[in-house]
Amino acid sequence: MAINLKAREVIDSRGNPTVEVDASDGTNRARAIVPSGASTGVHEALELRDKDVRYGGKGVRTAVANVNNRIAPALADLDPKDQGAIDHAMFTLDATKNKSALGANAILGASMACCRLAAMQKGVPLYQHVQDISSRKALMPVPCLNVINGGVHAGNDLDMQEYMLVPAGADNFAEALRMAAETYHHLKGLLEKKYGKNSTNVGDEGGFAPPMARPEEPLEFLTAAIEELGLQDKMMIAMDPASSEMFKEGKYLVQGTSLSAGELADRYQAMAQTFPLISLEDPFDQDDLEGWKLIRQKLPKLQIVGDDLLVTNPERIAMAMDNDACNALLLKVNQIGSVTEAIAAANKSFDAGWGVMVSHRSGETEDTFIADLVVGLGAGQIKSGAPARGERTAKYNQLLRIEEESGAAFGGRKVFER
Ligand code: PGA
Ligand code: ZN
């Protein structure tokens, strides 16, 4: 059974072009769409853009042509069930370290579409095929729902990017999602009362974008919403300041003030003492290792997640392990650009006792690949934005279906214990 690949340019949730790939074998047809970040790490694999007049330079016609003209013939005679062989054929063809020849968006689109085609050929759900590749036990994840947006994802003055509800104390995924959606609605009422209805317009990931600037204020609102609903035993908070975006000339610009790494670490420590914080992502710049080491010493038990720091790259993960810079991986498939490498990055992290949080990008699509991925990896944690906007809810809704079908256990609090 030969693989036929056909790519096209479609648009993502920000109206920017992205790569969609169909993989068919004459009987089955699988489809995958590649997501795209805004607060991207400098060490990520290269997302190939046309840089011409179309779509403000963001067109992906070159990446599409690379799938149709170069990747398709190289994969035609391979078995999609051998994900390693599929991905290695593309690495060989690309022959660069950061996938800049073909584009990580071209390679990943083909990689995910072939993975889905393999599941179809086996007659199993995608999460089960991922589980077969990763040799892990399936687990329903705790959703981390980003309900207040700042940074480059929103048009407000919040320097820190993401404030998430984490219903880790729920009994199952469906209950977790319900609690978070109810808290999201309660939060909306609290914001409207203080700041008026303009304050509940939403940012890129469906969270509210209120006119706040002080980084502790969203934590105060989230905590109030949680307590007023009586959910303090079940609902925690996670943050992603995405600090690389705040890093200017060796200091962190927070609310108009330049903070040293030490001052910022003290600020995080105070937040962790005051609010029910369960996870902190990218507290420091992607190359400010001293800051990362400092926060690990100050908050040794807290889950510290590396996103821009690690870029889902095994070499960066090894470097972070050597330096004890963090204790969890944020797994974004398009940062590294293939299914094989993403699963390898997760397994390397599990082996070291780290946590793994599977993640969407701020530029998303209706593709639900990461919902199946997180279950098949047994990672137990996913962030996919607010319980709002179709590209975010598509993942949560797919997880509801998987929970119903698989009966897999819920990750719960223990997946955050470090
Ligand atoms: P991005 O944001 O997709 O814009 O990079 C998500 C994140 O920083 O975790
Ligand atoms: Zn991040």
Residues annotated as catalytic are 205, 332
Going through 244-313 in order, the beta strands assigned E by DSSP cover 247-248, 251-254, 257-259, 277-281, 303-306
Q: Give the largest Cα separation in the chain, rounded.
A: 61
Separation of 129 CA from ligand 1 center, angstroms?
A: 27
pLDDT of residue 158: 98
pLDDT of residue 326: 98
230 by Cβ neighbours in 10 Å (0-12 / 13-18 / 19+) ranks as exposed
Q: Which residues contact 416 (CB under 8 A, 6 or more apart)?
A: 142, 166, 168, 236, 278, 279, 303, 355, 381
User: Phi and psi for 6 in degrees, rounded to 5?
Assistant: -140, 120
Q: From CA 176, how far away is CA 180, in angstroms rounded?
A: 6
Instruction: List the chain residues with pLDDT less than 70.
Output: none
Strand partners, 24: 4, 29
pLDDT 10s digits, 87-136: 999 999 999 999 999 999 999 999 999 999 999 999 999 999 999 999 99
Q: Is the CB of 151 under 6 A from ligand 1?
A: no
Strands 17-24 and 247-248: unpaired
Q: Give the nearest ligand 1 atom to 161 CA.
A: 8
pLDDT of residue 110: 99
* Domains of the chain with bracketed CATH: 4-123 (3.30.390.10), 134-416 (3.20.20.120)
Separation of 363 CA from ligand 1 center, angstroms?
A: 8
Tokens of 62: 């070159």
Whether 355 and 411 have beta carbons less than 8 Å apart is answered as: no
Any idea what the Cα angle at residue 328 is, between residues 363 and 319, rounded to 5°? 100
pLDDT 10s digits, 179-215: 999 999 999 999 999 999 999 999 999 999 999 999 9
pLDDT of residue 234: 98
80-94 in b/e form (b: 16+ CB < 10 A) is bbebeebbebbbebb
Q: Give the nearest ligand 1 atom to 152 CA.
A: 4
pLDDT of residue 122: 98
Tokens of 69: 């003209």
Any idea what the Cα angle at residue 327 is, between residues 326 and 330, rounded to 5°? 85
Strand partners, 149: 162
Separation of 381 CA from ligand 2 center, angstroms?
A: 14
Q: Give the nearest ligand 1 atom to 361 CA.
A: 3
pLDDT of residue 1: 78
